[in-house]
Chain A
């Protein structure tokens, strides 16, 4: 997104979007600032802001504005490269050695009080780090967090476990005049509101209201309605009120629930329909319970409408949900384009063995050794760094620290499934059946799996590499079939995915299920000879790249064509009909185990 253009005259917005881009950006800005103000008024209740915005001057400006409002003792920046060791207090080795007394350094978690934690590129935080931040948010109330989420559409968003702990959620897609004219000084109204906050009374009815609103938006976490109440309370305080009014809820809903909604509450047209039912039921239950929850559906409608109007963004709860669920799948998502190499990326160090010298981390090994020098050479009296006595640091095998990678020996099995017309429905089902039973094997072995299907004119990555074979099973059930047999395109995609898998630190392993009758060339043109040539070339490329594979011939009888392709792939060849399932499993297990080593052609 290019944000360097100056404010423009109103133009038509993006397709299906707001008619007025500038207006939208203005509303967004106002929301973002309102969120900052609410957080400044009620930091303990709201905990933080999840900001969705690409890098832009407006975003920078917003961060400045927000920090000015919050006026923290200190701002800690936690980026994805933040060293986990710095979270907890630790001994400063070098100073300790130099001064001959223990010098401790506080970890981040020890000095959170009264500060703001700024998390740029928050969606890139690795699990241990975001887990630590989430726990910190659970345990300590006196700091606030700003998570900035780059929100590139294809990327996964902020981890759901962090989002769930930050009260407010806003977005910025550009700048507007207000971005630059707003004052950086905290307005008096915020200072005053901080004092008013304690006096704002929250009635039971308010809590009932928030609770039901959250359900209406399809938000089930119990943290959210709590945040809604806290946001409404801050909003009331900002407006000098002692009681929550509809306007307070409107603002609170727009900043807490709406951005996270997984569905929309019943609209006017569908009033009598299904979404209304829980409410009626709930009212009936409430009556039985002698503790009536006095809720006027009209109130909810009004608030939802007003909040939606306030929320100028194009809003698509389904897309949001998909994005959220993508984010929650963590590394399983976006296998191909995902540049975040989590797997295989060094995530720390551990004690090494003699045969692991290659991934030795010199720094950590030295630190480990330095700590023990005084034991190893007690006569030196802590003067390890004293030049006169230096006879080199004594390092023993105990000190070796090797880079730790998340899990080095995993196999990712890529199923390449023929979904073409030549692969008649019956046989496709057989192939599906075989795949499903092989998935079982993968499940037992904790392999990761990916599914590519090819049919018609192209190949599709039906399922990016994931650790959940059950999802692959679901994909298989849904897989459509028909059209030509673009086997070459399938192989090409498999090659691409395999290389990505390898980059992630896994070993790729391709299982190809087809009758081998390719008739669509790489460029999408029909024709058997061209297609066959492309298949041969692609198969050899896979082989040349050292990608192990396994060929399951699904044709009615075993064909030389398939054997040839298997030969080009240097793949183990099996004919589906001729082998019982157990053999298939055994073979697959063996082949996958051998992935990385040479597999002989049978």
Chain B
């Protein structure tokens, strides 16, 4: 693929993955998206194309950490005009989608002393890392299950706090690092640490499309894209911008979405029936449903939203019984049926 990525709206199939990514883009607080599944199913293509589709971000002009101009979390780190008390301008920057290479070093991830500046100019300056680049965007880890433990630890910390705290090389820096963590991988190659798995708000099991027509359509579009990516993009420009508009509207509408007590009850009952650990399941389910309702242009969340999203939210949160052959999705379906009947 050349500099341009595949248009998001031109992706055939993968409805679940696309939905999950859109919801996470509408409300980053949902948490990240985990896409586990077969090879060659377009996981990477879908994830990369999303960032290009989204409306550009507003960030403080000149801030190396891309902090939000209206952020109230206090001043940003040194290097940001805001922290230096200067008058700030607002810049518009495309949503970042940062690739986290498997062999990434701690320094590269969190940022570290700028060695060049130190050596050449004798200046001690902080060089922001990938976490800064990913701020307000997406941090994508392919083969996330093969990521090394100490890197995973850092990611977990930062994803939980939304802040990257660097205490080394004589630096004491904290800067905002809010990102949507997107991981993909093939479970056959190794399982994911439960703590990390739990951090992902939504999980999608990506399967290869088995409908021949769908497969042919994928091939055709890929061929058309490779042959002339400009023309291909032009053909999907309208669709892309319509979707972009929908996401923007959903983001604005998000706070005003109402959630009925009935819906809360349903979520609680469902999670109880499934015995999912902690309360994160319910919370995420409600958050995701709000985002979904907003995306659909509704003002209230309905029980059907929960039914639709439950598999995305809960599949990876069920206590796994490695010895049972029953897939999590079947358990969710059963619990859904039971709860639905009661409601």
Give chain A's interface residues, CB within 8 Å of chain B.
44-45, 84-85, 87, 91, 93, 96-97, 100-102, 126-129, 131-132, 134-135, 138-139, 141, 160-161, 164, 202, 204, 207-208, 210-212, 214-215, 220-226, 229, 278, 282, 285-286, 289, 291, 293, 325, 328-330, 332, 347-351, 370-375, 378, 381-382, 398, 404, 406-407, 436, 439-440, 443-444, 446, 467-470, 473
Contacts and interface: CB of A to CB of B under 8 A. Distances in A.
Given A225-B215, A289-B213, A469 B322 contact: yes
Given A222-B208, A222-B215, A96 B119 contact: yes
B261 interface: no
Nearest to A466: B190
B274 to A, nearest CB: 18
Question: By DSSP majority rule, is chain A's interface helix, strand, loop, or mixed?
Answer: helix
Which of A128, A332, A444 has the most C-beta atoms of chain B within 10 angstroms of its own C-beta? A128
A407 B152 CA distance: 12
A328 B119 contact: no
Nearest to B185: A161
Contact of B150 (A91, A350, A378): A350
A285 B191 CA distance: 38
B322 A470 contact: yes
Interface stretch (B63-71, B140-148, B244-252, B294-302): B140-148
20 contacts: A85-B105, A91-B116, A93-B115, A96-B119, A132-B102, A138-B1, A207-B219, A211-B219, A221-B40, A222-B215, A222-B219, A285-B213, A347-B103, A347-B148, A372-B118, A407-B149, A440-B323, A467-B190, A470-B323, A473-B322
A91 B119 CA distance: 10
Contacts, number: 188
A96 B188 CA distance: 45
Contacts of A160: 39, 186
B31 to A, nearest CB: 22
Contact of A141 (B1, B39, B191, B213): B1
Given A131-B143, A350-B105, A404-B150, A45 B323 contact: no
B208 A221 contact: yes
B38 A220 contact: yes
Contacts of A439: 322-323
B189 A141 contact: no
A286 B222 CA distance: 21
B341 interface: no
Contact of A440 (B44, B170, B215, B322): B322
Given A215-B215, A325-B188, A221 B103 contact: no
Contact of B216 (A204, A330, A373): A204
Interface string B197-235: 000000000001111110110111011001000000000
A330 B213 contact: no
A160 B113 CA distance: 38
A398 B168 contact: yes
A106 to B, nearest CB: 15
Given A135-B99, A161-B143, A291-B213, A223 B40 contact: yes
Given A220-B40, A222-B222, A374-B122, 11 more contacts: A134-B142, A138-B1, A160-B39, A161-B143, A220-B38, A221-B38, A222-B42, A285-B213, A371-B118, A404-B150, A473-B323
B92 interface: no
A350 B116 CA distance: 19
Interface in B113-152: 113, 115-116, 118-124, 142-143, 146, 148-150
A375 B118 contact: yes
A84 B104 CA distance: 9
B161 interface: no
A436 B215 CA distance: 40
Nearest to B146: A127
Interface string B233-273: 00000000000000000000000000000000000000000
B193 interface: yes
B97 to A, nearest CB: 12
B194 to A, nearest CB: 8
B40 A348 contact: no
A100 B116 CA distance: 10
Given A211-B215, A222-B209, A222-B218, A132 B322 contact: no
